[in-house]
A = this chain, B = another copy of it.
Amino acid sequence: MSTDEYDLIVIGAGPVGENVADRAVQGGLSVIVIESELVGGECSYWACMPSKALLRSGQALRAAQHVQGVIGGELDPTEVLARRNSFTSDWSDDGQVKWLQSAGIDLARGQGRISGEREVTVTDDDGTERVLRARHAVAVSTGSDAAIAPIPGLAEAAPWTSREATSAQEVPASLAIIGGGVVAVEMATAYASLGAKVTVISRGGLLAKMEPFAGELVEKGLRADGVDVRTNTGTARVDRDDDGVTITLDDGTEIRAAEVLAATGRQPRSDDIGLETIGLEPGEYIRTDDTLRVQGHDWLYAVGDVNGRVLLTHQGKYQARAAGDVIAARANGDEIDDATWGRHVASADAAAVPQVVFSDPEVASVGLTAAAAQDAGHTTRVVDAELGSTAGASLHADGYTGTARMVVDTDRDVILGVTFVGADVSEMLQAATFAVVGEVPISRLWHAVPAYPTMNEIWLRLLEAYGRQSA
C-alpha cells in the first residue's frame, strides 16, 4: 500500500473528469484521476460518440435522398458499424491515456472510494490498495448508469442498455425499445436505418421534457422510417426465451423481438465510491452549489451527471471548466468569480442548457420550454414558425417540414428558450444559445441578418411573428 499526495484527486476519467483535471493543471495544481473502466468514459465508448457514429451515415444519406437530382445510394450496415468502431478506437483508451500524459495529469486505474476527508483509496483489479491524499480537493465525476425500470422480468431478460445498443457488433433482426426519451428515439432512428424492425414502447409520449411538438414530429418521423411506435403504452412484463424476447403490454398485446433495449432513464454512479464514510448517501445524486462544491464538505466537488444538475456531456464539461478553475482559484487564494454568469459558476445549468436529439427529424433546444417558463413565473409570449416556410429549408430538402418555437420574456424583451425540430437543425442551435445566454434584446436581434438562402431565415419569421418595436 502506497500513499501519495496531490492538490486535486478526480474520481472518474470521462470527459468531465478530464476537463476538471485539465483546468486545474492549467491553474497550477497537481492532479491525479482515477478510472475503473476506460479513460474517456461513457460518452466516448458507450454514449454520445458511438451513438452519433451509428446515426450520421443514415442522416447524411437521408439528406441526399431528399433532394431531387440525387439518385441511388444506400447504407452498408457493416461499414456503419466499422465506422462506429473506429470512433470508439475499438474500445481502447490508449489515445486518451496519452492525452492525460501530455496534459500533465496522473492516472490511477481501479475503483476510487472516498475513505475520509480529502482521502481516496484506489483498489485495482488485483485488490491492491493505494491511498491518495488531496491537499485541496476531491472531485467526483463518476457519471451515471442506465436505470432498468422495475418491469417484471425486464432485468432478468438481459436487456440491452445504451451500452449494448451503442456497442453492438451486429444489427439484430428486430429490436424492441422500452422508453420514450433521447436514447429510445436515437437508437430507434439508428437501428431502423440499419435495417432492424424496431418497435418503441413508451408509457407516455416521446421526448416528454421538451416542447410537445418535438415528440409529435419525431413520432411521425419514426413512423415514416418504418418504426412501430406505441405511445401511452405500459409494459406489463418481459420474458426471454431461446429465440428472443416477448414484451407483454398492459393490454395483453405481445411483441416479439430479437433484443429489447431498456431506455428507461439514468441513475447516478455513486453507490460504491465511499460516500458513506463522509455521511453522504450512496446511490443518490451528490448535490452541489453553483461552484459544483458539496455543502458541508468544502474540499468535495461533484461534477457532471453524478450531481444530477443536467445529464448531458457538454453540460458536464461546462461544469468541469468552472469546477477546475474554481478549485485552482481557491487553492491559489485567487479571487472567486461566483456571481451569476461569473467564471466560477455553472449559471447556464439553470437558464440555458442546449440539447440536440439526433433523431429524424432532429430536435435542438435551449433554455426554457413554454411550459417551464410559465411555471417559473415569467411573463411570456410564445411564437411559432414553420421551418419549411424559409427558402433555405425548401432548398435543403424537398418537402421540408419542421417547426421552430421562441419563448420570449416580455418583461425584459429577451428570449428564454428556443426549440427547432426538423432535418439538420443541430448546427442552428448555437445562435439560440447565444441569444439566451447573451440576453440579447429582441430589438437588437432584428439587426442580426440571416444569410439568404439559409434555414436560419427562420429567425426572421420568428421576429416578424413577434412584431417589431423601436429600441
Q: Is the CB of A449 within 8 A of B63?
A: no
Stretch at the interface among A97-105, A145-153, A233-241, A439-447: A439-447
Stretch at the interface among A2-10, A124-132, A281-289, A334-342: A334-342
Stretch at the interface among A29-37, A66-74, A165-173, A242-250: A66-74
Interface 0/1 of A126-170, CB less than 8 Å to B: 000000000000000000000000000000000000000000000
C-alpha spacing A453/B55, complex, angstroms:
12
Tell me, rounded to whole Å, the shortest Cβ–Cβ distance linking A321 to chain B. 7
Interface 0/1 of A34-72, CB less than 8 Å to B: 000000000100001100110011101101101111111
Q: Is the CB of B72 within 8 A of A68?
A: no
Among B52, B61, B68, B454, the residue within 8 A (CB) of A82 is: B68
Among B52, B57, B451, the residue within 8 A (CB) of A426 is: B451
Q: Which residue of B lies closest to A56 (CB)?
A: B395
Q: Is the CB of A67 within 8 A of B57?
A: yes
Q: Is the CB of B450 within 8 A of A354?
A: yes
Residues on B with beta carbons closer than 8 Å to the beta carbon of A426: 451, 454
Q: Which residue of B lies closest to A355 (CB)?
A: B451
Given contact pairs A71-B76, A437-B445, A468 touches B427 in the complex (Cβ within 8 A): no
Instruction: Tell me if A471 is interfacial: C-beta within 8 Å of chain B.
Output: yes
Instruction: Tell me if A435 is interfacial: C-beta within 8 Å of chain B.
Output: yes
Q: Is the CB of B451 within 8 A of A314?
A: yes
Residues on B with beta carbons closer than 8 Å to the beta carbon of A457: 314
Q: How many copies does the complex hold?
A: 2
Interface 0/1 of A449-471, CB less than 8 Å to B: 11111111101000000001111
Q: Is the CB of B445 within 8 A of A438?
A: yes
C-alpha spacing A337/B470, complex, angstroms:
6
Q: Is the CB of A440 within 8 A of B440?
A: yes
User: Max chain B CB contacts within 10 Å: which of A335, A429, A469?
Assistant: A429
Among B67, B77, B438, the residue within 8 A (CB) of A60 is: B67
Name A80-113 residues within 8 Å CB distance of B: 80, 82-83, 87
C-alpha spacing A315/B457, complex, angstroms:
12
Q: Is the CB of B70 within 8 A of A72?
A: no
C-alpha spacing A449/B429, complex, angstroms:
10
Instruction: Tell me if A278 is interfacial: C-beta within 8 Å of chain B.
Output: no
Q: Is the CB of B69 within 8 A of A72?
A: no
Q: Is the CB of B454 within 8 A of A427?
A: yes
Given contact pairs A433-B431, A434-B434, A438-B444, A451 touches B69 in the complex (Cβ within 8 A): no
C-alpha spacing A70/B58, complex, angstroms:
8
Q: Is the CB of A448 within 8 A of B454?
A: no
Instruction: Tell me if A280 is interfacial: C-beta within 8 Å of chain B.
Output: no
Tell me, rounded to whole Å, the shortest Cβ–Cβ distance linking A284 to chain B. 25
Stretch at the interface among A206-214, A266-274, A345-353: A345-353
Q: Is the CB of B429 within 8 A of A451?
A: yes
Instruction: Tell me if A430 is interfacial: C-beta within 8 Å of chain B.
Output: yes
Instruction: Tell me if A356 is interfacial: C-beta within 8 Å of chain B.
Output: yes
Q: Is the CB of B53 within 8 A of A61?
A: no
Tell me, rounded to whole Å, the shortest Cβ–Cβ distance linking A238 to chain B. 31
User: Max chain B CB contacts within 10 Å: which of A72, A444, A447?
Assistant: A447
Q: Is the CB of A315 within 8 A of B348?
A: no
C-alpha spacing A354/B431, complex, angstroms:
13
Among B71, B348, B433, B447, the residue within 8 A (CB) of A352 is: B447
Instruction: Tell me if A317 is interfacial: C-beta within 8 Å of chain B.
Output: yes
Residues on B with beta carbons closer than 8 Å to the beta carbon of A67: 56-57, 60-61, 83
C-alpha spacing A341/B61, complex, angstroms:
42
Tell me, rounded to whole Å, the shortest Cβ–Cβ distance linking A141 to chain B. 15
Among B315, B342, B356, B435, the residue within 8 A (CB) of A471 is: B342
Q: Is the CB of B57 within 8 A of A61?
A: no
Q: Is the CB of B449 within 8 A of A352?
A: yes
Interface pairs A-B: 4 shortest CB-CB: A73-B73, A57-B69, A438-B440, A69-B80
Pick 18 A–B contacts, CB within 8 A, sort by A: A48-B452, A60-B70, A64-B70, A68-B80, A68-B82, A70-B76, A73-B73, A317-B452, A318-B447, A321-B468, A337-B470, A341-B443, A343-B469, A354-B450, A364-B451, A427-B454, A430-B451, A434-B448
List residues of chain A with CB under 8 Å of any chain B CB: 43, 48-49, 52-53, 56-58, 60-61, 63-64, 66-77, 79-80, 82-83, 87, 312-315, 317-318, 321, 325, 335, 337, 339, 341-344, 347-348, 352-356, 364, 391, 394-396, 398, 424-431, 433-438, 440, 443-457, 459, 468-471
